[in-house]
Structure 1
Amino acid sequence: MMYAVALILTHAVGLSLTATILIIGVVTLAYCYLGGMKAVVYGDAIQMGLLLVGLVICLVVGLDRLGGWHAFTANVDPARLVAVDYSGFGLGDDNGFGFWPMLIGGLFLYCAYYGADQSQAQRLLSARDSTTVRRTLLANGLIRFPITACYCLMGLVLGTLAQQGSGPVAEAIAGEPDLLVPMFIRNGLPAGLTGLLIVAIFSAAMSSVSSAINSLSAASVEDFIVGGRDVSDGAYMRASHAATLFWGIVCLGLAFVTGHLAATLIEAINKIGSVFFGPLLATFVSAILWPRIDARGANAGLVAGVAVNVALWLFVPALFWFWWNVTGALACWAIAGLTSRAGPRAHAPRTAATLDWHWPSVTLLAAWFVAIVAFASALPLMLRG
């Protein structure tokens, strides 16, 4: 994420990639080191506000440059309006972003992201009570689509604007789509708005990086340094500071060696995540619901799931990467079950947890899902009339 945003900002402000990575990394590391989890949560809330302001500015200015809404709908590429493709299964040469790989693979991906990823789970564990956690997840499920739809609409507007003109912005869409927004910010906005949008992009980077650093630090301290022992607050704080500094430096170092992994940055980020999210979800589900899978089996399954996905990445390019979330989970469960069954059992089986389904929320989210699919399917007709 640090590399991705640094690449964008390099073209928006003219700084070198090295300087941009260092600025993002050092500033984020500083407030993570000093502020901890509270700084991450409050910082994320402020940064989200900045991003939404930037989204509205780009959308409004882009529509104005195009000549208004009617000019946009008259000139937008019809192929770009197809949001749901029921024909693609992510196999062979068909469109990987089809309905079924996105639905099934996305289910595994987001269950892992919101249920087992430390960067998200630590926010939920910081909530006041379980009711707050439920309301937070419900609000996220309801609000996420409108915000994402606005981002996509902004991309359609700016892409249409680029196709109608010439110069750097028009060249960006033909070469590197990731540069479309930063080049529009640099060349298409007044100076004051350009500065505000650059701050918004920096905020996006710091929001993601701060979550990563803080979650890595928390997990490292709890699992490897404290390890269940009773330590003083002072010792715990020193360990947390040391872990935060260490992981901040690691993230900075990795940002310098990250290259292009996909056609666009959003694909690259999710492609990397899809290698790990399936096995991660399977491990947590095993710990909660399948008592007969022991720690040895869970570790073996986790490694096997990631290995299977890496092998698919390297040797089976015909399989769309969204399916890795499923293959990794299935491989993890299979190996974890076999390993646990084959070896001697060190402890008595655990008791499976009881799931507390909040059916009003489940029903509301299911209805919202149907509405989203219906809206997305009808989108070409609505925009083209």
Structure 2
Amino acid sequence: MTIIDFVILGATLAFIVIYGSLKSKKNNNVNDFIKGGNTAEWWTVGLSVMATQASAVTFLSTPGQAFHDGMGFVQFYFGLPLAMIVICLVFIPIYHRLKVYTAYEYLESRFDLKTRTLTALLFLIQRSLACGITIYAPSIILSAILGWNLFYLNIIIGVLVIIYTVTGGTKAVNVTQKQQMAVILIGLVVAFIMIYSDLPQDITFNKAMKIAGANDKLNVLDFSFSFDNRYTFWSGIIGGSFLALSYFGTDQSQVQRYLSARSLKESQMGLIFNAILKVPLQFFILLIGIMVFVFYQFNHSPINFNPAAKTAVENSEYATEFNQLEKNLIVIQDQKNILAKEFAEEHSKSEMNAFKDELKLLNEREFELRDQAKDVIKQVDEKIETNDKDYVFIHFILNNLPKGLVGLLLAVILSAAMSSTASELNALASTTTIDLYKRNSSIKLSDRHFLNATKLFTLGWGVFAIIIACTANLFDNLIQLVNIIGSIFYGNVLGIFLLAFFIKFVSSRSVFIAAIITQAIVIFGYSQDWMPYLWLNLFGCGLVISIAIVLEILNKKS
């Protein structure tokens, strides 16, 4: 990191915070603070929805996911466009007709207060945990790579978001997310261009893709039905659809984005805009990871991208063994460099197949060495994170990009963290105020009181998120962790909403009991590793609907 990198990083973040605070400081009532005065255009809604989902986890973890496992992760998003259509046709018209502040208000009109409160609490639990992760994700990576203090990084990111979210509410979130998405998209394009320009001069994009394809990195579709494969076409189109329905249709952090639109049509157009662009955007982010993989066919890479792991081993009795693995890796990488260049040239079909097989074998040996290195690291200290997927992209940024661009890419990561965190804090505060505090208040209080209460709750949830971030532990892969947290709760919540929308004979009592039973079963099932987390959404949704119907039938018979 050079001075110019720090200047670019600091100026970008300062501009976002100051601009968001000044542009939206006039909030005269709760409607202005929670729904932004219903002034958002469709493209603002679309970008805000996209920015809310595209946290720093997306830009840290997804390229690393592609580096290790290829393009298959994009299947996770296949169900999103289908879910958007359903939400536009079913969810949004109901929310707009009832003029609700939160999604959970509708549940009281359909069922009762306790069902509304339970669903709101389920949202508050999972979203507050996820909010802490969105702060923690960039902090843990940047602290490990740059040597910055993790505790202070968590606080700095959290405080920056709290400043403009408390000041401006939903309008501040919407306004800043447009700037953040601009920084993110520019940064991603620049990163792709720089990776491509750093490849050997005679390696064209087609040749780069040929090298990636030879190592099975371009296998997008997996039509198997095996639960052993986490990301398949079926888990994406079915499980992904239910996850997207739950997240975009019932999660207040997303519902609040399109409830701030000028009209029903603007809300729907914003979601369709997101449906069209989201899958290509994720494909492009994964492609960046593939390009990083190709780059390291011609350049040396560390045996483990987490610098903390290497430091720990070098100061242990296993240093000699670890150093030997590193030497073996260098030999393989030198062989790959020669072979990759040969593979990219024109040869006969039989020669190409031979080059392909040999290159693939070398990469398999490389990843075997990486696994052996992980075993050595675990022997040193089991608490050290050995899964280095989240460190791959940031390692490339810091070691291969020129001055200034490092600051820009770090601004991308922190902007993404701030955009998601702001939406989450905004939604947590709105739900707390509207669904819990205001609804259960026995005294008639002024609109100004609830406006101030919402700001206070925003501050409180911000502090809580920082505490979660400061006490979190790195998981297998950060992007998976966020989705797992959601999947544990989302299916149940979606099932409650579907019961409300379509199954009119089921009473509130049956739904309430079914929801509690379902949540207990899903949590237990995940702890026992019954199925990949993507299927938990379908499982939880189907389970709560089935139990509620059975309870209602039994109740009527008795």
> What TM-score results when the alignment is normalised by the length of structure 2?
0.58
Structure 1 residue corresponding to 2:188, chosen from 55, 76, 82: 55
Show the counterpart of 1:331.
543
Structure 1 residue corresponding to 2:453, chosen from 239, 264, 269: 239
Indicate if the aligned counterparts of 2:248 and 2:255 stay in contact, CA closer than 8 A.
Answer: yes
5+ residue gaps, structure 2, are: 1-133, 307-366, 371-386
Encode CA deviations 1:220-263: one digit per residue, 9 max, x unaligned.
1001111177532210112112211111111111112322333x
**4+ residue runs of structure 1 moved beyond 6 angstroms?**
none
Shift of 1:146: 1.5
- Letter in structure 1 aligned against 2:464: V
Shift of 1:49: 1.2
- Letter in structure 2 aligned against 1:215: A
- Letter in structure 1 aligned against 2:216: A
Indicate if the aligned counterparts of 1:278 and 1:305 stay in contact, CA closer than 8 A.
Answer: no
- The alignment partner of 2:261 has SS state of coil
Structure 1 residue corresponding to 2:409, chosen from 193, 197, 216: 197
In the alignment, structure 1 residue 284 sits paired with structure 2 residue 497:
yes
- The alignment partner of 1:81 has SS state of coil
**Separation of aligned partners in 2, 1:11 and 1:50:** 24
**Separation of aligned partners in 2, 1:306 and 1:42:** 36
- Letter in structure 1 aligned against 2:205: W
In the alignment, structure 1 residue 123 sits paired with structure 2 residue 257:
yes
Show the counterpart of 2:168.
35
Alignment CA distance shift 1:290-1:321 (3 Å): same
In the alignment, structure 1 residue 227 sits paired with structure 2 residue 439:
yes
Indicate if the aligned counterparts of 1:279 and 1:301 stay in contact, CA closer than 8 A.
Answer: no
Show the counterpart of 2:197.
64
Structure 1 residue corresponding to 2:142, chosen from 2, 9, 14: 9
Shift of 1:215: 0.5
Alignment CA distance shift 1:84-1:34 (3 Å): same
Indicate if the aligned counterparts of 2:305 and 2:391 stay in contact, CA closer than 8 A.
Answer: no
Encode CA deviations 1:259-295: one digit per residue, 9 max, x unaligned.
2333x21111111111111111111111222223333
Indicate if the aligned counterparts of 2:488 and 2:522 stay in contact, CA closer than 8 A.
Answer: yes
- Letter in structure 1 aligned against 2:279: F
5+ residue gaps, structure 1, are: 345-385
**Separation of aligned partners in 2, 1:55 and 1:302:** 41
Show the counterpart of 1:160.
294
In the alignment, structure 1 residue 136 sits paired with structure 2 residue 349:
no
Indicate if the aligned counterparts of 2:305 and 2:395 stay in contact, CA closer than 8 A.
Answer: no
**Separation of aligned partners in 2, 1:278 and 1:131:** 27
Show the counterpart of 2:84.
none
Indicate if the aligned counterparts of 1:11 and 1:182 stay in contact, CA closer than 8 A.
Answer: no
Show the counterpart of 2:108.
none
Structure 2 residue corresponding to 1:113, chosen from 247, 252, 255: 247
Show the counterpart of 1:84.
221
In the alignment, structure 1 residue 75 sits paired with structure 2 residue 211:
yes
**Separation of aligned partners in 2, 1:329 and 1:6:** 34
Show the counterpart of 2:125.
none
**Separation of aligned partners in 2, 1:294 and 1:235:** 35
Equivalent residue pairs, number = 339
Show the counterpart of 2:397.
185
Indicate if the aligned counterparts of 1:302 and 1:332 stay in contact, CA closer than 8 A.
Answer: yes
Encode CA deviations 1:310-362: one digit per residue, 9 max, x unaligned.
11211135x21111011111121123334445558xxxxxxxxxxxxxxxxxx
Percent identity of paired positions between Structure 1 and Structure 2 = 30
Alignment CA distance shift 1:330-1:256 (3 Å): same
Show the counterpart of 1:362.
none
Encode CA deviations 1:111-148: one digit per residue, 9 max, x unaligned.
11111110110111111111111111111111112211
Show the counterpart of 1:359.
none
